[in-house]
Amino acid sequence: MTKPTRSHGLRQITASASPRTLMNESGVKSDPTWRATVLTLYPEMFPGPLGASLVGKALEKRLWALETLDIRGFAKDKHRSVDDTPAGGGPGMVLKPDVVAAAIDVSLAKAPKDRGRWPVLCLSARGRPITQDRVRALAASEGATFLCGRFEGIDQRVLEARDVEEISVGDAVLTGGEIPAMAVIDAVVRLLPGVLGALESTVDESFSAGLLEHPQYTKPPEWEGRAIPEVLLSGHHARVADWRRSQAEAVTKERRPDLWRAFGGDHIRGDTE
């Protein structure tokens, strides 16, 4: 059995009756605000970007915790097989339900019984698109299990039997769920208390009010013949707020008409386009 590795609060877990208790470097039990358990065939990919910048610093401070479970550790045969050919024929391989279920069950052994407090999320191109509202709900939970698919997918039976929620980070197909899992975890962790220096930075960002974020500028006042909009240098807070709002509406209408319609922009502005 491969010896578990750890990096900045990361705990890699191999198959056992229950997951190992997350501890800090001194061996004393800690109580992070939020925990992420990642089920993957490639635990060495973590923490990856999650070990850097503000999210990485928060991991070191135990503001959140990350653990991985190697799905292959739950294979039952001597070849450690985790997949098989698709029923009905076709290319590729499908992750087996018994192997995946065993990994999920271990990840939930110490999780809250209330699945609203600890959901199991499968990163999948066919999942519902992740939204900022869903991210906020995850940040308010105690943690989540992230199931990273590979190959042609995961046997549907285990997704149904374990009440797995399929989510997507965009309309593109990747080689696996690890990178999307990192993206979702990053989005959640930055909302946790103490991670960002200024909570106000989450107020005006994209999706916070149903709109995309307005354009941002900084010094110098003029660069390559392009000047910062005069209103932003006026010191008039009400005018700045109005400008930012109008810009947010304009960019949302142009780039994300779906968000604009959901926001009710056409009705507000009387648009008929």
Which has more confidence, 87 or 207? Answer: 87
Distance, in Å, from the CA atom of 273 to the CA atom of 266, rounded to the nearest integer, reads 8
132 and 210 in one domain? no
Whole-angstrom distance, CA of residue 224 vs CA of residue 212: 26
**What average pLDDT does range 1-28 have in this prediction?**
45
Among 41-45, 62-66, 199-203, 218-222, which stretch is predicted with the lowest mean pLDDT?
A: 199-203
Q: What is the pLDDT of residue 230?
A: 96
What CA–CA distance (Å, rounded) separates 12 from 38?
A: 9
Last residue of a domain, one of 167, 189, 211: 189
Question: Distance between CA 136 and CA 189 in Å, rounded?
Answer: 10
CATH of the domain at 157: 3.40.1280.10
Segment 236-250, tens digit of pLDDT: 999 999 999 999 999
Pick 200 or 212 by higher pLDDT: 212
Is residue 123 one of the residues assigned to a domain?
yes
Is it the case that residue 46 has pLDDT exceeding 50?
A: yes
Contact between residue 138 and residue 189 where contact means Cβ atoms under 8 Å apart: no
Q: Which residues pair with 39 in a beta bridge?
A: 69, 147
What mean pLDDT comes out for the span 222-245?
A: 96
Query: Above 90 in pLDDT, residue 44?
Result: yes
Phi, psi of 64 (to 5 degrees): -150, 170
Residues 115 and 35 grouped into a single domain: yes
Candidates 112, 110, 109, 97; CA nearest to 164 is 97
Residue 250 is inside which H or E element, if any? helix 237-255
Q: Is the pLDDT of residue 215 over 90?
A: yes
Contacts of 130-133 with C-beta under 8 Å, sequence gap 24+, read 130/167, 130/168, 130/169, 130/184, 130/187, 131/207, 132/187, 132/206, 132/207, 132/208, 133/207
- Using the 3D structure, point to which of 121, 155, 189 is the last residue of a domain: 189
Show the domain range for 260: 203-269
In the predicted model, is pLDDT for residue 131 greater than 50?
Answer: yes
- What is d(CA 76, CA 203) in angstroms, rounded to the nearest whole number? 49
**The pLDDT value given to residue 197:** 76
Q: In 3-state terms, what secondary structure has residue 89?
A: coil
Residue 7 has pLDDT above 90, yes or no: no
- Total domains in the fold of the chain: 2
Q: How confident is the model at residue 113 (pLDDT cuts 50, 70, 90)?
A: confident
The answer to whether residue 185 sits within a structural domain is yes
**The pLDDT value given to residue 15:** 54
3-state secondary structure of 36: strand
Mean confidence (pLDDT) of the chain: 87
Give mean pLDDT, residues 146-158: 95
| Number of other residues whose CB lies within 10 A of the CB of residue 125 | 16
Say if residue 121 is in the same domain as residue 231: no
Domain final residue, candidates 154, 189, 224: 189
113 compared with 119, residue with greater pLDDT = 119
Which whole number is the average pLDDT over 170-188? 96
> Residue 181 belongs to what H/E stretch?
helix 178-189
> Could you tell me if 97 and 84 are in contact, meaning their C-beta atoms sit under 8 angstroms apart?
no
